[in-house]
Amino acid sequence: MKHVCTPGREVRHPECCKWFEILDDMQENLFERECGPEAHESLRAMFHDAIGYSETGMFNGTYAQGGADGSIMLHADIELNYKANVGLDEIIYPQRDIALRHNVSFGDIIHFAGAVGLTNCGGGPHLQFFAGRPNTSEPAPDYMIPAPFHTADQIFERMADAGFQPDEVVQLMAAHSVAAQHSIDPAFNNAPLDSTPQDFDSQFFVETLLKGTEPVGNGTERGEVSSPLPGEFRIQSDVLLARDPRSACEWQSMIAHHEVMIAKFERVMAKLTALGQNMEELVDCTDVIPIPSKLSRQARLPAGKTMSDVEPACASIPFPSLYTAPGPIRTLAPV
């Protein structure tokens, strides 16, 4: 049975109605209804908040079972000083203002904002949103977020500690389709990780498998490796995961079918945002999250690239046939 909040806006649970007001505030005053830096950083904040979790309950001798609890906002004076969280102050504090304005918890606002921001990106997912997280948390320990310079072994070990298998790690990496780098090379702040940063598409998975030809920055920063396109930033850990035998086939599988990629991302994000939470105590307010626009275009080779530029790493599945975009190679602008 649906509850009518206002004309044209219905929810299954009446306590979700207040989130429409928050939605309007957020779209108007934070995102400006665009798939811009605020949307990208809101998605990053979701991951950085939630991954402060260990199935053992401890990390390096410190409590680490909060998960998706808003600790990165409640304890911003601590967590935003971690190197992995450089730049997140630009989104955490504006989100905090919205949470205080509407009297909702920091954990809820972080995970609501991430879901809403993605709906402004072409072809984006429709993420679940559950409300009712308490506004209490402990600071997450430092060094729980995989670093750009980590090996595949280090990444898989840390993510397994949080409950994620290699295939799920790849599925989470779809977030990089609308991402930009911040802390690796400050001289190239906001450099995109693929050629279509306004669309939540499979281009990231294609372009990470292209041969690197030139650095975006000076080429000496830790975690930066040569990129296939001018202006596109390439992260070392992305290249390693794309070519590791434990993840290469799942990586390649994300290329051909956008709908499959989206479905996998939605499932793994539901798992991520539930870390550390008793979901039976939360209310499903997914009704409030807008339906994203569809994306009809499939992944393709960038202009000037051919299949000879691809470095396929999955031996058991043929690499998908890709259309080559017309026109000259262009330099990408920061997002």
Topology annotation, domain 12-144+270-288: Peroxidase; domain 1 (1.10.520)
The model's pLDDT over 228-283, given as tens digits with 9 standing for 90+, comes to 999 899 999 999 999 999 999 999 999 988 999 999 999 999 999 999 999 999 99
What CA–CA distance (Å, rounded) separates 241 from 237? 6
Give strand ranges (E) for the chain. Answer: 3-6, 9-11, 53-59, 62-65, 130-131, 180-181, 191-192, 283-284, 300-301, 323-324
Tell me what the mean pLDDT of segment 83-102 comes to: 97
Binding residues for heme b: 176
Topology annotation, domain 152-258+297-324: Peroxidase; domain 2 (1.10.420)
The number of helix segments (H) and strand segments (E) in the chain equals 12, 10
Binding residues: 49, 67, 69, 71, 176-177, 194, 196, 201
Got the DSSP string for 30-49? Answer: IITTSSSHHHHHHHHHHHHH
Q: Could you tell me which of 57, 52, 95 has the C-alpha nearest to residue 73?
A: 95
Q: Where are the domains of the chain?
A: 12-144+270-288, 152-258+297-324
Give strand ranges (E) for 138-239. Answer: 180-181, 191-192
In the predicted model, is pLDDT for residue 150 greater than 80? yes
pLDDT band, very low/low/confident/very high, at 325 (cuts 50, 70, 90): confident
pLDDT band, very low/low/confident/very high, at 332 (cuts 50, 70, 90): confident
Percent with pLDDT over 70 in the chain: 97
pLDDT band, very low/low/confident/very high, at 217 (cuts 50, 70, 90): low
The model's pLDDT over 284-293, given as tens digits with 9 standing for 90+, comes to 999 999 999 9
The model's pLDDT over 18-28, given as tens digits with 9 standing for 90+, comes to 999 999 999 99
In the predicted model, is pLDDT for residue 296 greater than 80? no
Binding residues for Ca(2+): 49, 67, 69, 71, 177, 194, 196, 201
In the predicted model, is pLDDT for residue 306 greater than 70? yes
pLDDT band, very low/low/confident/very high, at 219 (cuts 50, 70, 90): low
pLDDT band, very low/low/confident/very high, at 328 (cuts 50, 70, 90): low
- The residues annotated as belonging to the active site are 48
pLDDT band, very low/low/confident/very high, at 187 (cuts 50, 70, 90): confident
What CA–CA distance (Å, rounded) separates 83 from 208? 24
For residue 68, give the DSSP letter: S
